[in-house]
Amino acid sequence: MSTQTTTEASLTTKQSSFKLTIPYGDWRDILETQGYVVIKVAVDPQTALGNLPIRTKLNTHENYVVVHERFMWEARMEPRVMEAFAKICGTDELLVSFDSLNVMLLNLKPARKPWPYTDQTSRKRAMHCVQGIINLSHAGPEDGSLEVIPGSHALIEEFFDTQTKPNTWEWKDNRYFSEKKIERFEIRGLRPLKALEEPGDFILWDSRTIHWGGEPTKNSNTIRTVICATYAPGKMASKDVLAEKKRVFHANGATTHWPHDNIVPRDMQARFPDGTIDSRNCLEPLEKAEQTDRLLQLAGVKAY
Ligand SMILES: [Fe+2]
């Protein structure tokens, strides 16, 4: 393939016989003339994406025991994060949720339209839960971030009482709102707002506040990375809830955002859409958190 030649200046060089003889009428012509080329869809996108960890439709990661990785517990146990909830709850004897990591990669799929909802509905009155998101990335106007309708928490009971029939009320913790229903809030002067944050910021919202996960626009170049962490007073949890939290914790399982009630374990297995289990599935964290008394109290495993 190559020959050594001697130039006039007696410097040795190596000549290649490797040559693209254009025109081919395909991408090789671009490689030869431009010195670079991008071959579109060389690997089937589904195969390429298959190398990413399995995620939910909401861009959250709750499998592969990520929920109990050391970095997740370290974030949950950040003093100012816990302090914020201690101020809300009036106690530092808190429980924390075993909720997910959210990594919102760009351009994997078309941006999802807003899906406004609350995490508390008609049968639960007054504030039952405040939710938290620990931001690890910047979120500007073009980036993915939580979107909220500020003030909606104060009108939500009135909405249920005047716009819905009590015989339709269920013991459910989320309710979605159509565009038409959102108009009921807009005529009261409320408008959606995207939360803008820097790494290290902590977003808190009342579960009655209408919200959704805002997706990045085409102009975003930030991979949104956040940890969902919600706390509640330990004394609000029943014995059954504590027993279930203990069981889920020892199994390295994940739950929803609820820390003290309504403990719903997530599927431990990382499954592809057809139900088959990912061969990378694991049931132990790569790096386990040190199980201090404080961690075990927050997990509901050790009594306060
Ligand atoms: Fe939510």
- All structural domains of the chain, each given as residue ranges with its CATH number in brackets, are 4-34 (no CATH), 59-299 (2.60.120.330)
Q: How far is the CA of 252 from the centre of ligand 1 (A)?
A: 22
pLDDT tens-digit readout, 126-149: 999 999 999 999 999 999 999 999
pLDDT at 100 > cutoff 90: yes
Residue 116: which pLDDT band, with cuts at 50, 70 and 90?
very high
Phi, psi for residue 218 in degrees, rounded to 5: -65, -20
Q: Ligand 1 centre from 211 Cα, in Å?
A: 7
pLDDT at 98 over 70: yes
Quote the pLDDT of residue 201.
93
pLDDT at 222 over 50: yes
Q: Is the pLDDT of residue 113 over 80?
A: yes
- Pairing type for strands 175-176 and 60-61 reads unpaired
CB within 8 Å of 278: residues ≥ 6 apart? 54, 63, 269, 270, 271, 272
Give the pLDDT band of residue 46 (cuts 50, 70, 90): low
CA distance 20 to 264: 60
The length of the chain is 304
Ligand 1 centroid to Cα of residue 86, in Å, is 21
Q: Is residue 7 pLDDT above 60, yes or no?
A: no
What are the residues facing 193 on neighbouring strands? Answer: 148
Extract the tokens encoding 23.
């025109």
pTM: 0.83
Distance CA 207, CA 214 (A): 17
- Mean of pLDDT values over 53-79: 90
Percent of the chain with pLDDT over 70: 94
pLDDT at site 49? 63
Sign of CA dihedral 270, 276, 282, 283: positive
pLDDT of residue 273: 86
Q: How remote is the CA of residue 259 from the centroid of ligand 1, in Å? A: 14
Q: pLDDT for 160-217, tens place per residue?
A: 999 999 999 999 899 999 999 999 999 999 999 999 999 999 999 999 999 999 999 9
Tell me the CA–centroid distance for residue 245 and ligand 1, in Å: 20
Q: How far apart are CA 180 and CA 105, in angstroms?
A: 31
- Residue 137 Cα to ligand 1 middle (Å): 19
The mean pLDDT of 48-67, rounded to a whole number, is 82
CA of 195 to the centre of ligand 1 (A): 14
Q: Give yes or no for residue 115 having a pLDDT over 80.
A: yes
Cα 285 to middle of ligand 1, angstroms: 26
Angle between helices 179-186 and 152-163 (to 10 degrees): 120
Q: Who has greater pLDDT, 3 or 278? A: 278
The token duo for 179 is 């565009």
Distance of CA 68 from the midpoint of ligand 1 (Å) = 21
Q: Tell me, what's the pLDDT at 48?
A: 66
Residue whose C-alpha is closest to residue 208's, from 264, 145, 126: 126
- 115 Cβ neighbours under 8 A, 6+ residues apart: 176, 212
Residue 293's pLDDT is what? Answer: 98
pLDDT of residue 234 exceeding 70, the answer is: yes
How far apart are the CA of 119 and the centre of ligand 1, in A?
5
Report how far residue 295's alpha carbon sits from residue 281's, in angstroms, rounded to the nearest whole number. Answer: 25
